[in-house]
Every structure is written in structure tokens, then in C-alpha cells.
Amino acid sequence: MQNTILAVTAVTGFLATFMASSINIALPLIEEEFRLSAVMLGWISTSFVLSTGAVLMAVGRIADLYGRTLIYLIGLASFTVFTFASAFAPSVEVLLVMRVLQGLASGLLFATHHALVTLSHPPEVRGRALGLQVSGVYLGMTVGPVLGGVIVRNTGWRVLFVVVGAACLVNCVVAVWKLRKTEWREPKTARFDVFGSVVWALALSALLLGFTRLPGVSGVVLIVVSVLGLALFFWRETRAADPILSVDLFLRNRVFAFSNLAALINYSATFAMTFLMSLYLQYNRGLDAQEAGLILVPGLFLQAALSIVAGRMADRLPSRIIASVGMSLTVLGLFAFAFLTETTPYWYIITILCVLGIGFALFASPIANTIMGSVEKRRLGTASATLATMRVTGQNLSMGVATLVLAVIVGRHEIEVVDYPNFLTSMRISFAIFAALCVLGVAASLVRSREPEAGAPAASNAARPDDRALPADPPSTS
């Protein structure tokens, strides 16, 4: 069962991120077929991310109450169906609806996948398992643009959805066959907090959408609305009988709170790196898309390969130390990119990308291990969903910062040759901001519990399926 859960979730992570990263390669062909504006084309990617982020927290709590495996399997089946359906979309409106539904299904998957691995693996091997799972995610990000480009270039954008859908179908059949009798759930103590779930979904969507529209007035208004909505959400959760997010978990569990903060900072500081470097290599260095991709691949490959090693290290060494080392390497890499010029040697660029790849790998799986090991068993779904929310939010904030700096320095018009020097300036500023953010992330990831091993008892109790009769895990004193 352990190996099946690990394999299925790792493959799912690969396919979901492969789809997310390869769809960008297909956008020009989609634009050509449907004759889309740039704004509508952007929504094909944005709609997926917004719908995923909106449901993560609610789904995490639903999974705690009704079964993590059940919610995961529903998400996997739904993702498969909507991926196939996207391939046969007759119009852009239908395609957008399918992308939203695909994003909702992705929310079911990413709200539960860390919880399933944590529940099925004892603490002494949990880090290795999470490392393998994270490796699948990074591998999808690595090969998505390359393999996706080959598929799209030779067979068209619709075949890309068919190929991913077929792989999802195989993965779904294996998951249902092997895991249908394996379940973990917690006793229901009160009605599900529907009001809090709706407020959270609307507030987070407003925040993510607002950052894409800065520095415009609509962006500012959306962010103000999101802040008010988030304040209402947290107020509501302190009074709900069964909150979807336990505010006490953040107030009383320092490890959980600061590790999630570190994750948010890391993704906020690093996600836009590939976007900026791809444009730099093509605009300022004159490379084509394929050549730029080949330069970016070594760092991404190291992320995937070393995530497994980092996971194994987390089983033997304090996860917070490994994560902090990874964040420190990320600071160095981002700071080095703040000094790029139009003549910087390619060997230097590749070396820094490799340093960043190592830093990302050393951070991701250990920080996941820290977060999942810091909570009691009944909150594992919430913990998994919170970490996924930090990732999605951070990725959007990262792109928001990068596009905001571009808008201020370059402008919102199409980038032309005359704008290339200004683009280089905006890229340096962005990397300097990201490096400064990561310094704060190092401090956050170093926070430790007052106890030697926070969360270990909860993780060890969690290794048995259908154990609802077990006594409740003791509250964390982190």
C-alpha cells in the first residue's frame, strides 16, 4: 500500500505540473485557432490557477472529515475527465470552463497528496517518500516545456490534452483498483463551515487576480477587497464550531506557522525565475526558445534529482536545517542574477541555475516533512491543503511582483527591441527583491519547536488506515 500511494501521487504530481507547464507552449496555436486576444489567452492559464487555489483549504477539511483517499480519487477521476474534454473543446468558452473544472479537480489532488503519503509512511521513512513525491512535481515542470513542445509542434495542441488524459486514466485505474479499500478519516464534530469556505475562495481569488492587474486601479481595488475578505475569514474561523482552518494552529504551533511562511516566501521569490530568465535569454541574448530551454534544463533537472536525496536527508537530519540551507543557496543564486548583463558568460548562468536547483531541492521536501510532521493526525488534510495554498499563492505573488516591476520600468505595451535594456533593468530589480524576500525565508525556516521532535507522535499514530477508534492525538505544543 505504501508503494502504491507513493507511486500514484508522484505520477499525479508529474502529470499535473506537466500539464501546467506544457500548456504555455500550446498557447500560440490555441490563439491561432480561436483568434483570441492576449487577455483571453492569458485566462487559459490563469483560470486553472485561480480555481485550484480557491478550493484548497475547504477541500483539505472535507478530506479530513469524509476521507482523504475518497477525495483524492474523486479529484483524480475528475482531472482525467476534464483533461480529455479539453481536447475536444469546440470554442474558447468551453475550453475555459474545462480549465476551471480541471483546476478544481487539481485542488482535490493537491489538498490531499501530502496527507496520504504522511499517513501511509512512518516517520523514519516519511522524508524519503515526500522527496520522491516532490521529485515527480519537479520532473513534470522540467520535461513539460520540452516534451510538450514536441507533442504540440508535431501533432497540435489538442493531442497534448489527449496524451495527458490517457496517462491520467491509467494512473486513475491503478489508484481505484489498489486504494479503494484504504481510507483515513476523522470523526465529524460539527457542521462543515460553508460560509468560511466561500469567503476564503472569494478573498483568495481576489488577491491572486488583483496582483495580475497591478498597478492598475482594478488591481488595487481587488487587493483591498481581498484583505477585507481575509480579515473576515480569520474572524469567522475563530468562532466556527469546526473551522476549515484552525487559527490556533498558526497561533500556538510555531513550527507550522513559520514553515508555511517560509514556503510562501520561497515560492513567491522563485517561481518567476524561469519566466524572467527565459525572456532574458531570448531578448537580451538573442537565443531562440529551444536554445533558451536547453540552458534552463540543467537547473530544473537537479531540482528533480536532488529532491529524493533531500528527502532521505530529512529522515536523518533536522528538516528545518536542510530547508534553511536550501533557502540560503536560493538567496545566493537570486542575488547573483541581480547582476546579470548582456555579456554574462553562459557557463556562469548555468552554474547559478544549478545552485538554485540545488537550493530548491533542499528546501521543498524537507519543509513539507516539517509541516506535515508538526500537526496532529486529525489536521493532516488541513496541513496538506495549507502547504498547497502557500505554493499556489506564492507562485501567483511571484509573477505579480515580476509583472508589476515590468509594467513600471518597461510599460504595458508589447516589448520591442528598444525596450530590451529596460527589461534587463526590471529583471535585476525583481531578482534583488526576491533575494531580499528569501533572507526572511531563511529566518522563518529556522524556527523550531520547544520540543525535540515536533509532531513525531502524531505521524507514527497516523500510519494505520481506518483507525478512527484511536484516541485523539495530543495537541501540538510547538
pLDDT, tens digit, 9 for 90 and up, residues 212-266: 777 778 888 998 999 999 899 888 888 887 787 777 778 888 888 888 888 899 8
98 class by beta-carbon count within 10 Å (0-12 exposed, 13-18 middle, 19+ buried): buried
Q: Which of 300, 286, 362, 327 is nearest to 143 (CA)?
A: 300
User: In the predicted model, what is the mean pLDDT of residues 285-303?
Assistant: 79
Residue 186 has pLDDT above 90, yes or no: no
Q: How far apart are CA 63 and CA 381, in angstroms?
A: 6
Q: Please give the grid coordinates belonging to residue 447.
A: 524556527
pLDDT at 149 over 80: no
Residue 474 pLDDT grade (very low, low, confident, very high; cuts 50, 70, 90): very low
* 4 contacts 178 by C-beta, under 8 angstroms: yes
Nearest partner of 388 among 408, 366, 364, 412, judged by Cα: 364
Which residues neighbour 55 within 8 Å (Cβ) at sequence distance 6 or greater?
A: 104, 107, 108, 111, 201
28-34, long-range: CB < 8 A, 24+ apart? 29/152, 29/156, 29/157, 30/92, 30/95, 30/157, 33/157, 34/91, 34/92, 34/95
Query: What integer is the mean pLDDT of 435-452?
Result: 73
Hey, what's the cell of 54? Answer: 480557491
Cα separation, 125 vs 135, whole angstroms: 16
User: pLDDT per residue over 377-400, tens digit each?
Assistant: 777 777 888 888 888 888 778 877
Q: What is the pLDDT of residue 448?
A: 56
Q: What is the tens place of the pLDDT at every residue in 123-143?
A: 778 778 888 888 888 788 777
- Tell me: the pLDDT tens digits for 83-102? 999 999 999 899 999 999 99
Average pLDDT over residues 443-467: 47
Position 464 pLDDT exceeds 50 = no
Name every residue whose Cβ is closer than 8 Å to that of residue 67 and which is 6 or more positions away in sequence.
Answer: 183, 184, 185
Does the pLDDT value for residue 193 go beyond 70? yes
- Per-residue pLDDT band for 471 (boundaries 50, 70, 90) equals very low
DSSP annotation of 471 reads: P
Average pLDDT over residues 156-176: 92
* Rounded Cα distance, 324 and 306, in Å: 16
Does residue 304 carry a pLDDT above 80? no
Burial 362-384 (b: 16+ CB within 10 A, else e): bbbbbbbbbbbbbbbbbbbbbbb
pLDDT at 282: 78
Separation CA 391–CA 368 (nearest Å): 11
Average pLDDT (440-467) is 51
- The answer to whether residues 423 and 415 touch, using CB atoms and an 8 Å cutoff, is yes
Residue 13 pLDDT > 60: yes
Separation of alpha carbons 294 and 288, rounded Å? 10
2-193+240-461: CATH architecture: Up-down Bundle (1.20)
Q: What is the mean pLDDT of residues 396-418?
A: 79
CB 290 within 8 A of CB 282: no
Q: Is the dihedral of CA 279, 285, 291, 295 positive or negative?
A: negative
Tell me which of 270 and 446 has the higher pLDDT: 270
What residue type is 360 in one-letter code? Answer: F
Question: How much is the pLDDT for 477?
Answer: 32
Question: CA–CA separation, 168 vs 385, rounded Å?
Answer: 22
Q: What is the rounded CA–CA span in Å between residue 194 and residue 142?
A: 38
> What average pLDDT is seen over the chain?
81
CA pair distance 144, 142, nearest whole angstrom: 6
* pTM score above 0.95: no
pLDDT greater at residue 363 or residue 312: 363
* Contact status, residue 441 vs residue 270, Cβ threshold 8 Å: no
> Which residue matches cell numbers 508589447?
414
Tell me the domain boundaries of the chain. Answer: 2-193+240-461, 194-239
- Which one is predicted more confidently, 433 or 306? 433
| Interatomic CA distance for residues 375 and 384, integer angstroms | 10
For residue 463, with 0-12 CB atoms within 10 Å meaning exposed, 13-18 middle and 19 or more buried, which class applies?
Answer: middle
What grid cell was written down for 202?
472569494
Q: How far apart are CA 298 and CA 205, in angstroms?
A: 34
Residue 379 DSSP one-character state? G
User: What is d(CA 53, CA 201) in angstroms, rounded to the nearest whole number?
Assistant: 8
At 344, the pLDDT band (50, 70, 90 cuts) reads very high
Residue 330 has pLDDT above 60, yes or no: yes
Sort 174 into a burial class: Cβ within 10 Å, 0-12 / 13-18 / 19+: middle
Q: How many C-beta neighbours within 10 Å does residue 465 have?
A: 17
Any idea which residue has 548582456 for its cell?
342
User: In whole angstroms, how far apart are CA 415 and each of 26, 144, 240, 420?
Assistant: 21, 25, 49, 7
Type of residue numbered 289:
A
